[in-house]
Amino acid sequence: MSKRFTDTEIWDKAWFMSLSPKIKCFVKYVRDKCDIAGLWHPNYTLASVYIGEQVDEDDLLLVDDGEQFEKLSDGKILCKGFIEFQYGGKLNPTSPIHAKVISILEKYNIPIEVKKVSQSFNAPSYTDVYNEMKDKLNDTQKCKIEAEKFINYYESNGWMIGRNKMKSWRASVSNWLNRIKPESKVRSESIKEKLNEIQNRKFTEI
């Protein structure tokens, strides 16, 4: 059986105090029987049996001049204010329950407030980094070495870039490779120059 918050102050609200005992019971029944999104699948026959008196749609929709309940296009009844009371207003899409509520409300185009949640960072594995580097650098051995350096460096500092948490490890891999490419190019050119120098020297000078 699902559990939810109940409004103990409802008994002191003017609109509720003005209702007959039958309608008060009907209001409480619908709010208790609605789903997690505040939608009630109408069954007036069953409601009448539980309450002990005949009730119908008009009885419900006229409560508080229509400020408490609304009939949706498919006949379901929306308990107004239910989301704000049960979930504190804004829904969190990272919560499984809230996500389900959001899905139900969006189906009926019911306006809702959703919390802005920053995407969590998932640290890459050595294989992730190696494969990413291999796609950008045509040097298998160097990719292995640099991937290990990358993982060791960022694991040691908690995946921070300066004072901020890393947001995209792929972008960081690209920046890492951009920093080492000039160095590799300089070394390559230096070796090439030395080889040319040796070739141009006479055998007796070596």
Q: pLDDT (tens digit, 0 to 9) for every residue of the chain, 206 residues total?
A: 468 899 999 999 999 999 999 999 999 999 999 999 999 999 999 999 999 999 999 999 999 999 999 999 999 999 999 999 999 878 988 888 999 999 999 999 998 888 876 667 788 999 999 999 998 888 899 999 999 999 999 999 889 998 888 888 999 999 999 988 655 444 545 555 555 665 665 545 55
Q: Report the DSSP beta bridge partners of residue 39.
A: 78
- Both 153 and 98 in one domain: the answer is no
Which among 74, 107, 140 is the end of a domain? 107
Asked if residue 143 belongs to a domain, the reply is yes
CB 104 within 8 A of CB 83: no
Rounded to 5, what percent of the chain is helix, strand, coil? 60, 5, 35
Q: Are residues 41 and 93 in the same domain?
A: yes
Same domain, 53 and 22: yes
Residues 101 and 167 in one domain: no
* Whether residues 83 and 48 fall in one domain: yes
- Residues 13 and 102 occupy one common structural domain: yes
- pLDDT given for residue 122 in this prediction: 86
Measured over the CA atoms of residue 156, residue 178, residue 143 and residue 141, the dihedral's sign is negative
- For the chain, the residue count is 206
Looking at the fold, whether 93 and 158 belong to one and the same domain comes out as no
Q: Please, which residues have CB within 8 angstroms of residue 163's CB and are 6 or more apart in sequence?
A: none
**Domains in the chain: how many in total?**
2
Residue with tokens 């050595």: 126
Interatomic CA distance for residues 129 and 52, integer angstroms: 68
Domain that holds residue 31: 8-107
In DSSP notation, 183-196 reads HHHHHHHHHHHHHH
Question: 129: which 2 tokens?
Answer: 């980094």
Q: What is the number of helices (H) and of strands (E) in the chain?
A: 9, 5
- Cα separation, 161 vs 157, whole angstroms: 9
- Please list, in sequence order, all residues whose beta carbon lies within 8 angstroms of the beta carbon of residue 5, skipping any fewer than 6 positions away: 85, 86
